[in-house]
Amino acid sequence: MQYSHLGRTGIVVSRLCLGTMSFGCYTSEEDSLAILNEALEQGINFIDTANSYGWLGWIPDRGRIGLTEEIIGRWLSEDKTRRDRIVLATKVYAVMSAEINDRGLSAYHIRKACEDSLRRLQTDHIDLYYMHHIDRGEVQEQYKEWWGVPERDLVRPAHRRRETPWEEIWQAMEVLVEQGKVIYVGSSNFAGWNIAQSCEKASARNFLGPVCEQSVYSLSNRMVELEVIPACREYGLGLVPYSPLGGGCLAGLLEKAGSGQGRRSGVFGEDYIEAHRDRLEAYESLCRDLGETPAAAALAWLLDNPVVTAPIIGTRTIEQLRSSLRAVEIDLGEETRARLDEIWPGPGGQAPETYAW
């Protein structure tokens, strides 16, 4: 395994981050514990989760909210030495119950969510505490159905601000850091200007502020190259990409579809494959010429970016985990990277140069 500093910090993490979103809903607890053991054995010390992971609200009886943190907590309790061997990241923002204040980035919710995560994780501190989303203050419509509560109990009060002020957010985070419950703070799903604003507000308070940004990024989704990556570079944030395989389309989709293993619904149904067949064929053919799996090549492409700290590998099986490890050893080379740019073109560079003179 290879390692890198997390953004501008002194802490060192593995170049691959183990994602746990499937634990408890798609992956059984037994298999989840086995994956955690294998990841640690292979040198992965960066573990990513969230307080809301563990359930699928649109599928009845598929896990429950907070279950993923509980599984990790039980894994940590089995061997107390594991805690000091990992960098543990979790998140705050999501709606956690029908209670009107059990969501968002208010100081009230940040404090409560942190205490709840510490209890589920069976630890006394969180190494990296992500703001799971910029606080927009709205209540998402699907929660009315998922939680089964009347609309009147979920409607935002008329006097509520559109978002929580940064002064309140940073004060709450500062308290957690002072108490030793949180070491570093990160952002997730932030726009470039959100990153700039959060960093400037933190700097004005002599607070370290966000040290990394977790954002969707892959060969097939390169929008963050416009402004998020330049903002991360400017402010010294490490980029931790999630969905690095484009939800599966970069993991050998055509081959799996041909063998009956591919996804049969959603964006990866037959319509998607036919619409993108030329691109998928070119990509998978290039990977065969390289002698690498499509998944490993996609991860290696991300690792070539100096702003990227560690892609999140959301494995559901030990086999998927082991196959991902190859990515850190791959040197794609300039010619291959140019060919990948042709197959999966990005926005053309950073803003505003990509669209203005």
Give residue 357's pLDDT: 85
Strands (E), the chain: 3-5, 12-14, 17-19, 46-48, 87-92, 126-131, 182-188, 210-216, 238-242, 312-313
What mean pLDDT do residues 141-152 have? 51
What is the arithmetic mean of pLDDT over 128-133?
96
Look-up: residue for tokens 């419950």?
A: 181
Residues 6 or more apart whose CB falls under 8 angstroms from that of 348 comprise 354, 355
Q: Measured between alpha carbons, how far is residue 187 from residues 191, 209, 248, 319, 326 in Å?
A: 10, 9, 24, 30, 28
17 or 314, which is more confident: 17
Average the pLDDT over 217-235 and give the result.
Answer: 97
User: What does the alpha-carbon distance between residue 101 and residue 93 come to, in Å, rounded to a whole number?
Assistant: 11
User: Average of pLDDT values for 249-266?
Assistant: 68
Q: Confidence class of residue 134 from pLDDT cuts 50, 70 and 90?
A: very high
52, 45 in Cβ contact below 8 A? no
Q: Given this model, what pLDDT does residue 228 score?
A: 98
58 or 301, higher pLDDT: 301
CA dihedral 123→125→129→132, nearest 10 degrees, is: 30
**β-pair type (238-242, 17-19):** unpaired
> Are 131 and 100 contacting, i.e. CB atoms less than 8 angstroms apart?
no
Q: Which residues have CB under 8 Å from 190's CB, separation 6+?
A: 131, 134, 198, 210, 213, 215, 228
| Secondary-structure percent of the chain, ordered helix, strand, coil, rounded to 5 | 45, 15, 40
Q: pTM of the full predicted structure? A: 0.91
Q: Which domains does the chain have, with CATH numbers?
A: 3-252+293-334 (3.20.20.100)
> Would the pLDDT of 200 be above 80?
yes
| Mean pLDDT over each residue of the chain, to the nearest integer | 90
Which residue is catalytic, options 3, 26, 53, 143? 53
* Averaged pLDDT for residues 185-206: 97
130 is catalytic: no
Model confidence pLDDT, tens digit, residues 326-356 = 999 999 999 999 999 999 999 999 999 999 9
Cβ atoms 311, 244 nearer than 8 A: yes
Sign of the CA dihedral with 301 first, then 306, 308, and 309 last: positive
pLDDT tier for residue 269 given thresholds of 50, 70 and 90: low
Rg of the chain in Å (alpha carbons): 20
**Tokens standing for residue 148:** 């089964």
The model's pLDDT over 151-171, given as tens digits with 9 standing for 90+, comes to: 544 444 544 556 899 999 999
